[in-house]
A = this chain, B = another copy of it.
């Protein structure tokens, strides 16, 4: 599937993004990081469910996954791009990413999935910040 992953980003280049006032490389990085974050958070919540005293982590990771998915999909619909909405959504997603990373990091020594999820959240926050710098 490495090949298909590459294709997915290759595909991005064929999209009608030309008219958007945005750096395409920053947005592609952001989409990939949002996707990795969504998957890590979904898995982390799924693993948390089977463990004791992980209510907050389960709920935060579930919220993280839903928000990352919504943000990522928005970036894949060029016709609906609105800079005010994009900035507000990036802001919400980064706020969630920081809160989720902080929660997961508290369990990172005990749970490998929390360690990965915190890293994926950190990376996503960084990529959203880079994109924010482009749209501001």
0 or 1 for each of A1-21: is its CB under 8 Å from B? (1 = yes): 100110110111011100000
- A29 in the interface (beta carbon within 8 A): yes
List B contacts of A15 (CB < 8 A): 43, 46-47, 113
Q: When the two chains form their complex, are residues A92 and B99 in contact, meaning their CB atoms are under 8 A apart?
A: no
- A125 in the interface (beta carbon within 8 A): no
Q: Which residue of chain B has the shortest Cβ distance to A87 in the bound complex?
A: B95
CA of A90 to CA of B120 in the docked complex: distance in angstroms? 24
Known: A50-B55, A56-B80, A85-B92. 14 other contacts (CB 8 A): A1-B36, A1-B123, A4-B40, A7-B116, A15-B46, A31-B39, A46-B79, A49-B59, A58-B58, A66-B73, A84-B99, A89-B92, A89-B96, A92-B92
